[in-house]
Homo-oligomer: A and B are copies of this chain.
Amino acid sequence: MENSLGKLFTITSFGESHGRCVGVIIDGCPAGLAVDEEDIQRELDKRKPGIGVMTTKRAEEDKVEILSGIFNGATTGAPVCLLVWNRDIDSSEYEKTRFLPRPGHADYTAFMKYGGFNDFRGGGRFSGRITAPLVMAGALTKKLLNLAGIEVIAHTVAIDGIEARTRTFEEIREKVWGNPVRCADPDAADEMVRAIEKAKGEGDSLGGIIEGIALNVPVGLGEPVFDTLDGALAKALFAIPAVKGVEFGSGFSSAGKRGSENNDPFVIRNDKIVTKTNNAGGVLGSISNGMPIVVRIAIKPTSSIAKSQETVNMESMESASLITKGRHDACIVPRAVVVVEAMIAVTLCDLALRVGLIPRVMK
């Protein structure tokens, strides 16, 4: 079950970048959830390449196909199979460089692990393209969570060291889809766009940080000591290509703080126990504490760049140099925002089902 995630609510990924399709099976979805192609297409479109020079030239139509599990406009309780066909495929470049692994990419490890049998075209399974099905699963899952009152949002908080100013949840919700970098701070967004254009022009790439937020998560999600809320989220988020770090609340900065500073005092607001601050990022003892769950994800710069890089020919075992042509995002952060939302949603849904927050049949 290495390509499956979740215990009660499970997604199973299949397909390759340049194969026939990329898809996902969602198992354990409650019956009776109203969902149609448009619900899913809308989310999928958020993953589309943005404007200008910023992103890949590959222009898949990416039209969702529902293969199973939805009948008369609602889920049936059976596995939901969703896929997008691959149409705009040009594998020629990959054939040429088959034995020249891109530095920073899975070309090398996949070749070694699968004895050279892996579908290397377009990175095969190790392509940003496999996140399209995750987004489709996220679309369905967010609908489910919404019925339980839970909202998941994500936004770009840094690219190339340019940091967005802190925004309220309302501002994030409002602004994030208004610019191509999915950043809630329009000024920073402009700067980020320019930075990406510059890097692209130089044949280089950039990384960044995405913040994911889950609102209205009740107290009690997470099953310590191992099926923890933070651990499950981290596992799901590291499945997104290029993620190199995950932190909750004050995260790495908490390591330099004092307890008296980092602890969130409990107070009563509207007859409910809340915390004054949210350094915990909504997670106490690996269980949700009712505050917004806040997780930050570090995304490294895209490994495929147009600059010459030092590599090795895996067949001849000789030194080589490589300029990656293909069609690659100079910065995948903007397109990963909706993927982050999807992985958070899928994880919360599994944990919500475990505590009965979401019923097995929707009324």
Asked whether A244 and B236 contact (CB < 8 A) given A67-B21, A103-B266, the answer is: no
* Pairwise interchain contact B8-A301, C-beta atoms closer than 8 A: no
**Cβ contacts under 8 Å, A243 to chain B:** 230
Known contacts A244-B252, A354-B8, A262 near B300 by CB under 8 Å: yes
- Asked if A207 and B262 make an inter-chain contact with CB atoms under 8 angstroms apart, the answer reads yes
Is the C-beta of A348 less than 8 angstroms from some C-beta in chain B? no
The chain B residue sitting closest to A311, CB to CB, is B266
Contact with B along A172-212 (1 / 0, CB 8 A): 00000000000000000000000000010000111111000
Contacting pair A68 B238 (CB below 8 A): no
B238 x A234 contact (CB < 8 A): yes
Q: Is the CB of B15 within 8 A of A12?
A: no
Interface residues of A in 55-69 (CB under 8 A from B): 66-69
Among candidates B8, B71, B219, residue contacting A109 with C-beta atoms closer than 8 Å: B219
Q: Chain A, 324-363, contact with B by CB distance < 8 Å: what is the 0/1 string?
A: 0000000000000000000000000000001110011111
Question: A25 contacts B32, CB within 8 Å?
Answer: no
Partner of A285, one of B19, B126, B220, B227: B126
Residue contact A114 to B361, C-beta cutoff 8 Å: yes
The chain A residues found within 8 Å of chain B, CB to CB, are 1-8, 10, 12-16, 19-21, 23, 25, 27-28, 31-32, 66-69, 71-72, 74-81, 83, 101-106, 108-110, 112-115, 117-119, 124-126, 130, 158, 160-161, 199, 204-209, 219-220, 222-228, 230-232, 234-239, 241, 243-252, 254-268, 271, 273, 275-276, 279-281, 284-289, 298-305, 307, 309-312, 314, 317-319, 354-356, 359-363
